[in-house]
Amino acid sequence: MGAGRRQRLHRLIAVVNAEKGESLKILVTGGAGFIGSHIVDALIAAGHEVRVLDALVAQVHGSRDSESTRPPYLHTDAELVQGDICDAALIEQALEGVEAVFHQAAEVGVGQSMYEITRYVDANTRGTAILLQALIRRRRHIRKLVVASSMSIYGEGACECRQCGPVAPPLRSAEQLGAHEWEVRCPGCGREVRPSPTRETKPLFPGSVYAITKQDQEQLSLVLGRAYGIPTIALRYWNVYGARQALSNPYTGVCAIFSARLLNGQPPLIFEDGCQLRDFVHIRDIVQANLLALESPDANYHAINIGSGEVINIRQVAQMLAEGLGRSIAPIFPGKSREGDIRRCIPDLTRARSVLGYKPQVTLAQGIPELLDWVRSQTARDSVETATAELAARQLVR
Ligand code: UD1
């Protein structure tokens, strides 16, 4: 049977199962966070029973009193186990009766990871190791493990050089950035290169502690999943945006940071010249990819790019957000750069389409107004200047 027919058949089986009401017991680590909580909603809507393991870290969730630890948006049907992913006894308890796991728990600040090294390695690498150790013991009951990986593990995205053809450049040097030469150069001939879609086969050059730990999470999961027959899939997310991003967390993604600045009447602060290119993928498409991963045997043991296929630079992001919020506040360009940042990385989505049947649905023109509707209903503490000063004091922004 051809791959296409096999895939259609598997999808049909999944639909029949859903109609039969087959319900799995599923653990979502980091399930009270931005991405995790949306996955939880979708799993419950699909008829599954969901348990969430989440440390509710103050940087993301704010400090709460003991009565109100549960985030208000967390689905009321989700069981919440509050605690640390490195707590092996708690993991055992959280895995009781579980048949599938979505591992979303992670510390996510690229800049912060460069000085809070043990915190990032503990939560992301060691936390994943502890989870896997427990999963291996229960492997006969586990039908699927889906791990949140990240495009940050590629370092600079794939490029095309007019002279040398396809190249995979390393991160730009401190000297180059110090001279404000922002564009990526060919490692062969030194000419400026153009970005091309990055495939999963591109060599990995993680440029931050965060990225190293994401690579660890992905590879530990795929290698051990294969060795022990736990069907495992790593989804390499591009820049995710949407409601529930932690607006007051200065180490979160740029859409949330700029929105919080604008809400507080402050100009977005743009690193480099703002021509860094990213692919912003809406949370609903991330959820789509995760649910497809649960149902797609052809995707097992693969790492798969998940983006929107729409590329935009950071200047345009600032402009769209300011316009959408009705604030005529121009961004500022201090001419600084952030250690470990990449210039451009855009996804090749061929594998996502072929093994998952993934098709991005939400364009920026639809997703940004939706994000802003939610942003307007929030109050955000803007601590970006303090966070940037912390990075600058360590020479990590210069
Ligand atoms: C982000 C995520 C990372 C995720 C990856 C892929 C965060 C903190 N990082 O990394 O977890 O794995 O996408 O999905 O969520 N910028 C400014 N001014 C600011 C902040 C950022 O100009 O105040 C620029 C940065 O220099 C960078 C771009 O915006 O060029 C995007 O930055 P950021 O949102 O931090 O995302 P990534 O580093 O791409």
Q: Is the CB of 154 under 6 A from ligand 1?
A: no
What is the per-residue pLDDT across 89-132, written as a single tens digit (0 to 9) for each?
Answer: 999 999 999 999 999 999 998 889 999 999 999 999 999 999 99
- pLDDT band per the 50, 70, 90 thresholds, residue 21: low
Indicate which atom in ligand 1 lies nearest the CA of residue 388. 23
Choice between 384 and 298, residue whose per-residue pLDDT is larger: 298
Out of 198, 213, 238, 239, give the residue to mutate to test ligand 1, the one with the largest number of ligand atoms within 8 Å of its CB: 239
- pLDDT band per the 50, 70, 90 thresholds, residue 68: low
- pLDDT band per the 50, 70, 90 thresholds, residue 10: very low
Q: Residues with Cβ < 8 Å from 96, sequence gap 6 or more?
A: none
Residue 8: per-residue pLDDT = 57
Indicate which atom in ligand 1 lies nearest the CA of residue 261. 23
230 CA distance to ligand 1 centroid (A)? 32
CA distance 368 to 379: 18
Q: Produce one character per residue of 217-229: b if its CB has 16 or more CB atoms within 10 Å, e if not.
A: bbbbbbebbeeee
Handedness of CA 182, 185, 191, 197 (dihedral sign): negative
Q: Would you say residue 19 has pLDDT above 70?
A: no
Does residue 187 come out as left (phi exceeding 0), alpha (psi in the -120 to 50 range) or beta?
alpha
Q: Would you say residue 387 has pLDDT above 80?
A: no
| CB atoms closer than 10 angstroms to residue 264 | 14
- List 303's β-bridge partners, or say none: 234
* Radius of gyration for the alpha carbons in the chain, expressed in angstroms and rounded: 21
State the average pLDDT over residues 5-25: 60
Q: Would you say residue 65 has pLDDT above 60?
A: no
- pLDDT band per the 50, 70, 90 thresholds, residue 394: confident
E-assigned strand segments in 55-199:
79-82, 100-103, 144-150, 159-161, 165-167, 194-195
Q: pTM here?
A: 0.92
Q: Is the CB of 71 under 6 A from ligand 1?
A: no
The full length of the chain comes to 398
Out of 34, 110, 346, give the residue to mutate to test ligand 1, the one with the largest number of ligand atoms within 8 Å of its CB: 110
What is the per-residue pLDDT across 321-334, written as a single tens digit (0 to 9) for each?
Answer: 999 999 999 999 99
Q: Which residue has its alpha carbon closest to ligand 1 atom 25?
A: 271
CA dihedral of residues 253, 122, 57, 223 (deg, nearest 10): 60
Percent of the chain with pLDDT over 90: 80
Q: Is the CB of 271 under 6 A from ligand 1?
A: yes
CA distance 245 to 162: 40
Q: Does 210 participate in catalysis according to the annotation?
A: yes
316 CA distance to ligand 1 centroid (A)? 14
CA distance 295 to 128: 23
Per DSSP, the residues of 272-333 read TTS--EEEEEEHHHHHHHHHHHHH-GGGTT-EEEE--S-EEEHHHHHHHHHHHTT-----B-
232 CA distance to ligand 1 centroid (A)? 27
Domain locations in the chain as residue ranges: 3-156+196-242+280-308+341-360, 159-195
Q: Is the CB of 280 under 6 A from ligand 1?
A: no
State the average pLDDT over residues 8-30: 69
Residue 66: per-residue pLDDT = 47
Residue in 120, 154, 210, 241 annotated catalytic? 210
Handedness of CA 106, 107, 110, 115 (dihedral sign): negative
Q: Is the CB of 346 under 6 A from ligand 1?
A: no
State CA 241 to chain mean position distance. 9
Residue 169: per-residue pLDDT = 96
CA distance 181 to 17: 55
CB 343 within 8 A of CB 173: no
CA distance 11 to 4: 11
CA distance 363 to 308: 7
Q: Which residue has its alpha carbon closest to ligand 1 atom 18?
A: 270
Indicate which atom in ligand 1 lies nearest the CA of residue 251. 8
Nearest to 100 by CA among 45, 56, 40, 57: 40
The whole-chain average pLDDT of the chain stands at: 92
Q: Could you tell me the fold of the domain covering 3-156+196-242+280-308+341-360?
A: Rossmann fold (3.40.50)
CA distance 394 to 398: 9
| CB atoms closer than 10 angstroms to residue 369 | 11
Residue 150: per-residue pLDDT = 97
Q: Which amino acid is at 64?
A: R
What is the per-residue pLDDT across 151-201, written as a single tens digit (0 to 9) for each?
Answer: 999 999 999 999 999 999 999 999 999 999 999 999 999 999 999 999 999
Q: Is the CB of 308 under 6 A from ligand 1?
A: no
- List 150's β-bridge partners, or say none: 237
- List 306's β-bridge partners, or say none: 237
Nearest to 338 by CA among 245, 214, 213, 211: 211
Q: Would you say residue 227 has pLDDT above 80?
A: yes
What is the per-residue pLDDT across 360-385, written as a single tens digit (0 to 9) for each?
Answer: 999 999 999 999 999 888 876 777 77
Residue 67: per-residue pLDDT = 46
Residue 9: per-residue pLDDT = 53
Q: Is the CB of 215 under 6 A from ligand 1?
A: no
What is the per-residue pLDDT across 174-188, written as a single tens digit (0 to 9) for each?
Answer: 999 999 999 999 999
- pLDDT band per the 50, 70, 90 thresholds, residue 260: confident
- List 235's β-bridge partners, or say none: 148, 304
- 15-19, 309-313, 389-393, range with the lowest pLDDT: 15-19
| CB atoms closer than 10 angstroms to residue 386 | 9
